[in-house]
């Protein structure tokens, strides 16, 4: 089977998965409406899969027997999808209910007539090694009625979408609806060209319509997640959403690969070995993505010596096993990524420092004697005897949930700055407070 047809089938499956996640993830008030979305996804899947299988048929008696069923699936699936999309978008309005009912009746009539007498659409089905197609019969008028149905229902659901956008006060939801509107408009134009105008001349390009519509449905589901229209509480829904989004990214990659491969080597369809190699490479990249992301964040934190990568540091701290925390190791990590020549924790008379930096009993006693700050976390480090020799720049208090001091966090000289600005101090204070929670709730493995 041609790679493009395989991709259309995969997109069809992903649209159904996204619609199922929407149905189960929607609130009770939106559950009934989201069923329209599921029906639209099913219609789109029938449309896309029927096209892919039909275009892949070889010559033979069995194939010729199944071809009429697939052609029926192509046109019936598209009608079901269009009506369901209109229902999903407009059912909340009285006029929308009327419009959906009208187009549903027209769609049912078209499907009934076609199933009763397929010759109203085509005079013959052509299966050959040069490509499969149907000979459309324009004299019976069914194809023109089908084209008119498509050309009227598309502006209808776009019009209702524009109405929703104008009257929706939620900025985030409006963004999602705008995405849906633009996507449907573009997909509608492409479907008009490749699935209505061109089929009498070139039937091999009708896969463009279901592929673009499938991406629009998946894209709208992503917009729903992105703009928090639904909340996925169940773990299996989160996994399902991850499969849909990741699968869509893989499909986009394979489409780009197919276009580049065809342009460079002038081969219509890559071999099975080439396709398999691409899937293996995608799997390797997906498996390495967390490691690559972690390496990138760590490298960025090292390189940005004039600022603190607060997001990376907070991520690492929150991921700690608080029952087995090694404060010396943590001090080394913070010194490295906060860009101080040393960082240390002073807790219960013991000092846990980075890079084998040690304090004498006298120095520890002097730091412990510092007065608790009236506001914030910072103590007056300049009051510590020999503070300049120690290159001591800051001392922060670690306080528990009751406001009691449970330790201190000391900072040496900044590596790449002579002075710390307000943003630096705010970020460092955030880390001090976070480490206070870690020390309070965790053990102190030295």
For 290-334, how does the pLDDT look when each residue is reduced to its tens digit (9 = 90+)?
Answer: 676 666 656 655 555 566 777 778 888 877 765 667 888 888 888
Exposure string over 203-237, b if 16+ CB within 10 A, otherwise e: beebbbbbbbbbbbbbbbbbbbbebebbebeeeeb
Q: Phi and psi (nearest 5°) for 198?
A: -80, -30
Residue 297's SS3 state is helix
Say if residues 201 and 134 touch (Cβ distance below 8 Å): no
Tell which wins on pLDDT, 90 or 233: 90
**What number is the average pLDDT over the span 400-410?**
85
Residue 218 pLDDT class (50, 70, 90 cuts) = confident
Say if residues 123 and 77 touch (Cβ distance below 8 Å): no
Q: What is the pLDDT of residue 419?
A: 72
Q: With 70 as the cut, is the pLDDT of residue 354 above it?
A: yes
Residue 123's SS3 state is strand
Model pTM score:
0.68
Tokens of 189: 């134009």
> Considering only CA atoms, which of 93, 141, 133, 89 is closest in space to residue 117?
141
Share of the chain above pLDDT 70, in %: 89
Tell which wins on pLDDT, 223 or 74: 74
CA dihedral 213, 216, 218, 222 (to 10 degrees): -170
The rounded distance, in Å, linking the Cα atoms of 425 and 415 is: 15
> Considering only CA atoms, which of 239, 269, 290 is closest in space to residue 17?
239
Q: Give strand ranges (E) for 130-193.
A: 133-136
> Considering only CA atoms, which of 182, 195, 119, 112 is closest in space to residue 150?
195
- pLDDT tens, residue by residue, 265-280: 676 667 667 777 777 7
Q: What share of the chain is helix, strand, coil (3-state, %, to 5)?
A: 65, 10, 25
Q: With 70 as the cut, is the pLDDT of residue 118 above it?
A: yes
The rounded distance, in Å, linking the Cα atoms of 358 and 343 is: 11
Q: With 50 as the cut, is the pLDDT of residue 446 above it?
A: no
Residue 435's SS3 state is helix
Residue 385 pLDDT class (50, 70, 90 cuts) = confident
Share of the chain above pLDDT 90, in %: 25
Burial class (CB in 10 A: 0-12, 13-18, 19+), 38: buried
Radius of gyration for the alpha carbons in the chain, expressed in angstroms and rounded = 32
């Amino acid at each position: 089977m041609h790679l493009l047809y395989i991709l259309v089938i995969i997109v069809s499956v992903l649209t159904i998965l996204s619609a199922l996640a929407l149905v189960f993830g929607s609130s009770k008030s939106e559950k009934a409406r989201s069923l329209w979305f599921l029906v639209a996804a099913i219609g789109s899947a029938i449309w896309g899969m029927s096209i892919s299988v039909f275009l892949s048929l070889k010559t033979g008696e069995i194939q010729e027997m199944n071809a009429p069923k697939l052609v029926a699936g192509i046109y019936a699936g598209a009608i079901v999808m269009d009506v369901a999309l209109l229902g999903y978008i407009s059912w909340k309005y009285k006029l929308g209910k009327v419009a959906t009912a009208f187009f549903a009746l027209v769609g049912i009539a078209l499907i009934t007539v076609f199933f009763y007498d397929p010759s109203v659409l085509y005079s013959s089905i052509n299966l050959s090694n040069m490509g499969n197609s149907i000979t459309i019969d324009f004299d019976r008028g069914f194809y023109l009625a089908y084209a008119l149905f498509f050309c009227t229902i598309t502006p209808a659901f776009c019009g209702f979408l524009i109405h929703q956008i104008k009257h929706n006060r939620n900025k985030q939801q409006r963004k999602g609806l705008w995405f849906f509107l633009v996507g449907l408009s573009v997909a509608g134009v492409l479907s008009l060209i490749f699935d209505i105008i061109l089929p009498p001349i070139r039937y091999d390009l009708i896969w463009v319509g279901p592929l673009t519509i499938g991406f629009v449905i998946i894209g709208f589901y992503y917009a729903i997640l992105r703009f928090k229209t639904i909340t996925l509480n169940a773990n299996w829904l989160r996994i399902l959403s991850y499969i849909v989004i990741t699968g869509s990214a893989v499909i986009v990659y394979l489409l780009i690969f197919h276009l580049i491969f065809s342009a460079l080597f002038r081969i219509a369809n890559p071999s099975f070995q080439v396709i398999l190699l691409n899937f293996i490479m995608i799997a390797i990249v997906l498996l390495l993505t967390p490691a690559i992301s972690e390496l990138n964040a760590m490298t960025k934190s090292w390189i940005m010596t004039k600022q603190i990568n607060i997001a990376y540091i907070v991520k690492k701290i929150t991921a700690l096993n608080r029952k087995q925390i090694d404060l010396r190791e943590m001090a080394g990590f913070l010194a490295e990524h906060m860009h101080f020549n040393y960082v240390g924790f002073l807790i219960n008379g013991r000092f846990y420092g980075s890079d084998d930096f040690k304090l004498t009993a006298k120095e520890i006693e002097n730091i412990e004697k510092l007065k608790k700050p009236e506001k914030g976390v910072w103590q007056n480090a300049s009051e510590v005897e020999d503070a300049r020799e120690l290159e001591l720049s800051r001392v922060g208090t670690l306080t528990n949930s009751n406001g009691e001091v449970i330790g201190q966090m000391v900072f040496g000289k900044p590596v790449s700055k002579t002075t710390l600005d307000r943003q630096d101090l705010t970020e460092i204070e955030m880390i001090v407070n976070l480490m206070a929670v870690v020390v309070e709730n965790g053990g102190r493995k030295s």
